[in-house]
Amino acid sequence: MKSSHFLLPALVASLLAAPVAQAHSSTDLASSPTAPAKKPAGITRIDPTFWWVGMKNPKLQLLVHGPGIANSTASLRYEGVTLDGTQKLESPNYLVVNLTVSPTAKPGQLKLEFKGAKNFSYSYELKARSTPGDKTQVQGLSTQDFIYFLMPDRFSNGDPKNDYIKGMKAPAAARDSMYSRHGGDLKGIANHFDYFKTLGATALWLTPIVENDQPKASYHGYALTDYYTVDRRYGTNEEYRSFVRNAHQNGLKVVQDVVLNHLGSESYLFRDQPAKDWFHQWPTFTRSSFRDAAFNDPHGSQYDRKLFGEGWFDTTMPDLNQSNPLVATYVIQNNLWWVENTGIDAYRIDTYSYSDRNFLMQWGQALLDEYPQLGMFGETWVQGTAQQAYFARNILPSTDGFKSNLPGVTDFQLQYAINEALTKDAGWTEGISKLYYTLHDDWLYENPMRNVVFLDNHDMSRFYSVIGEDFAKYKMGLAWLLTTRGIPQLYYGTEVLMKNFSNPDGKVREDFPGGFPGDKKNLFTSRSGQEAEAFDYVSKLANYRRTHEFLHAGKLMQFIPDQGVYTYFRYSDAGTVMVMMNSNKEEKTVDMARFAERLNGFSSGVEVTTGAAIADLKTVKIPGRTAWVVELKK
């Protein structure tokens, strides 16, 4: 997610910059820290909303919210559960209740008793776990996967009943507005499971599905207002659980997009802040510098580190203070909750590099301790492979106390490289040589195969536009995406040549044609010309990749590009694929003798996407602007 999602009007921006007590609506006295803390009338909510017995970590932190709740004392009587104590916060409307849920505890309704000016009780549910031993849940990610990335609001409208939700700050869909809700939902995505399978996708990554009850531009999902609720314009929590189950039954994994760094300004946690130190506070609104290098620059200043890590992403995105142990635990428990509650397979972590680094290590360890198989990759929109590797598991020494435990990252360095390969002439290190030299730096990673490779995303100009709508270059890019190392990710619509530039960013987030009532084109079911050719090309290569282990999991050997031609091999004992990319406009004759160490024992080959035979492996002539994916034959 990049920095220019949207800005509030000056009045609201100044309100957010004002002292905390002034940032509350006059109609929200029940949740305001300035409200009278008289007789507690009850509990507004408890987070987590429920929990499970049998979690590996027996500790459970409950954040109890209700008017004047801090003036109450808590007690319980439940076999196997002990009350470790309570903690008051600055706001009188919060009380932290710490529990230990021992391995002997059974599922049931735990009765919490609160005594104060008024006595009341709350029935808190402890559930039986469903994920242990169920191989259909929390499957993780592997190099066999092909991730299809989409924005739920912009993909398909399957349930018109949730197009208008009374009481929400942006209640209605308005497709004629670039930054309004358009009406896409979970049912719309599920209606097209067969489309994904035909394409060859094995995993679906959705931009955040949690509630974003913001007055403007909430469609992207990155300004959450409720950690525990699916946005009602997408569906309900139970519908999301069903969505994940149905995806699994259709052979599709689910990647949930999660934001650790910030939340939305309309969240109850910000409108009624538990304490000032739950957020990074500034005298006036201060935006992050977005300069991640400040974190680990050995010559850097504390000022730059603070500005990058503690500045807000936007006026509507308060920056969480994850160095506060209560905040850290709140976020970690929420992310555990979604995995156990739904069985999702992986997390994509938005703005990963912006979070407190000690928290990132704690977060990663907590999730992997509970779910070792959980897939995780973080957004690392940084410059330089060393900087990118710093945020992943790597071979680098820890010089600043941070040693990443994140399995993989979004590989922006390779995204830069493929764009350069297809838009610049070949040089010693430029053009297509950029691919070679970027992959050369893979030695920095513990396992670069866990990185997610991509051509574009929701924050970038679309790939087809970047390459000048050149269809030959398009096929080269897709051939590379589906044959290089790592886990490939495709942004929705790339397979049918959706295009546009990211200024403004809404243009690269347009609706999928055919996903909404009244669409003039339906590219789910009716494709022709190059749109059909593009879809078929991706489908054929993606499905071939999925069923051939030597391509999706084999070793990679690359050769230094020569005269604008880049050649590499994916191979294992089961077979070998040779990929040859000619970035020149003109045909090139290639002497194959330099590839002898990989060609030894092979006499011919078949180009995977066309079926064309390659009878001579001594000298080949490859047309200009062409990528060959050749399965070698003995």
Where are the strands (E) in 219-272, listed by range?
A: 226-230, 253-259
Length of the chain, in residues: 634
DSSP strand E in 500-572: where? 555-562, 565-572
495 is catalytic: no
Is residue 604 a contact partner of residue 633, using CB atoms and an 8 Å limit?
Answer: yes
Alpha-carbon gap, residue 370 to 137, rounded angstroms:
13
Pairing of the two strands 575-582 and 253-259: unpaired
- The token pair that represents 577 in the structure block: 């694929």
Distances (CA, A) of 317 to 13, 17, 279, 503: 11, 12, 10, 21
Half-sphere exposure of 366 (CA within 13 A, CB side): 21
3-state secondary structure at position 191: coil
Beta 94-101 vs 59-65: how paired, if at all? antiparallel
User: Does 519 qualify as catalytic in the annotation?
Assistant: no
Spatial separation of the C-alpha atoms in residues 14 and 297, rounded to whole Å: 33
Q: What is the chain's percent helix, strand, coil content, to nearest 5?
A: 30, 25, 45
Name the one residue in this structure whose structure tokens are 């409307």: 93
Tell me which of 266, 340, 345, 350 is the catalytic residue.
350
Angle at 493 between CA 465 and CA 220, to 5 degrees: 95
- Residue type at 295 in one-letter notation: F
DSSP state of 103: T
Catalytic, out of 379, 442, 456, 495: 379
| Preceding peptide of 160 cis, ω within 30° | no
Which residues are catalytically annotated?
Answer: 350, 379
